[in-house]
């Protein structure tokens, strides 16, 4: 029994004295943002609230990744209807983009033409 208490005490002490990201933030140090690689099969799920349509989930799945572009599919159920939209983003556009179109409509082009400055 003594050995068990000793092990638990050591574990608890280790947890208490291990620096955490919150401790770093308290000292004004910002931990680096995590980086998630853009790979085929990556899925991002988001919650959306629209007063006129209610709440729903938007599911984004990466379909293709190349040096020139990446493609993804957006899907979800809105107003009781399933929608699926495909998009393609050029790597160059991603590097220089200053905005993102978060609204998707079936029938929109898979890739948007360049916008004039």
Has residue 95 been placed in a domain? yes
Has residue 6 been placed in a domain? no
pLDDT the model gives residue 10: 40
Has residue 2 been placed in a domain? no
pLDDT the model gives residue 20: 58
Place of tokens 């291990």: 18
Q: In a structure prediction context, what are the per-residue pLDDT tens digits for the chain, which is 117 residues long? A: 444 444 444 444 444 455 555 555 567 788 888 888 989 999 999 988 888 878 888 899 999 999 999 999 999 888 888 989 898 988 888 888 877 776 777 777 777 766 533
Our count of domains for the chain comes to: 1
Has residue 65 been placed in a domain? yes
pLDDT the model gives residue 68: 92
Has residue 40 been placed in a domain? yes
Domain that holds residue 50: 32-117
pLDDT the model gives residue 9: 46
Has residue 39 been placed in a domain? yes
Cβ density class 42-67: b for 16+ within 10 Å, e for less: eeeeeeeeeeeeeebebebebeebee
Q: What is the pTM of this model?
A: 0.63
Has residue 81 been placed in a domain? yes
């Amino acid at each position: 029994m003594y050995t068990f208490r000793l092990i638990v005490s050591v574990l608890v002490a280790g947890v208490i004295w291990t620096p955490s990201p919150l401790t770093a933030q308290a000292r004004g140090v910002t931990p680096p943002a995590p980086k998630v690689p853009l790979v085929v099969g990556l899925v991002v799920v988001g919650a959306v609230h629209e007063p006129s349509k209610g709440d729903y989930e938007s599911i984004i799945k990466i379909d293709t990744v190349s040096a020139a572009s990446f493609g993804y599919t957006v899907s979800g159920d809105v107003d009781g209807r399933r929608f699926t939209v495909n998009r393609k983003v050029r790597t160059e556009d991603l590097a220089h983009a200053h905005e993102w179109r978060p609204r998707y409509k079936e029938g929109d082009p898979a890739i948007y033409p360049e916008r004039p400055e």
